[in-house]
């Protein structure tokens, strides 16, 4: 996935966050591709995973705050979509720490999450940004 694969929204701050999110996703995939049995490579992957998880949580939290502040009508639905994505991400990361299954982790970061993200941004973030941009000035 490339940052340009995501549909643009009307909020530049949101677009920036989405670009960062895709960059962090790509960093995880690169670290996974480079993974061998060495400690530095394993550490590089752990750091990339941590950066991705922290950024993703923070981004969803910011969107939730914005929707709450501007009384976005579909707030509950959108917030629920974030919560489910975080729960799934936490499950995948917890499993990875237990079983170290590279294929399962790779499938999540190469296929599952990018597909979810493209759909989420296209169906929810675009509408949310449109609403917030209309209210914010």
Q: Which residues bind Fe ion (CB under 5 A)?
A: 63, 125
The minimum distance between CB 107 and Fe ion, in angstroms, equals 22
The minimum distance between CB 135 and Fe ion, in angstroms, equals 17
The minimum distance between CB 62 and Fe ion, in angstroms, equals 9
Closest to Fe ion by CB, 60 vs 108, is: 60
Closest to Fe ion by CB, 65 vs 101, is: 65
Q: Render the burial of 82-115: b for 16+ CB within 10 Å, e for the rest.
A: beebeeebeebbeebeeeeeeeebeebbbeebbe
Residues with Cβ < 8 Å from 2, sequence gap 6 or more? 22
């Amino acid at each position: 996935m490339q940052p340009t694969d995501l549909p643009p929204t009307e909020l530049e701050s949101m677009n920036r966050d989405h670009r960062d999110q895709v960059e962090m996703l790509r960093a995880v995939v690169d670290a996974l591709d480079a993974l061998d049995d060495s400690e530095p490579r394993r550490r590089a992957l752990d750091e990339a995973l941590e950066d991705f998880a922290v950024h993703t949580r923070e981004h969803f939290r910011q969107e939730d705050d914005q929707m709450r502040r501007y009384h976005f009508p579909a707030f509950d639905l959108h917030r629920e979509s974030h919560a489910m994505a975080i729960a799934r991400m936490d499950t995948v990361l917890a499993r990875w720490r237990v079983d170290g299954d590279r294929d399962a982790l790779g499938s999540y970061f190469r296929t599952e999450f990018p597909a979810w993200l493209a759909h989420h941004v296209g169906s929810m973030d675009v509408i949310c940004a449109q609403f917030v941009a209309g209210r914010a000035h």
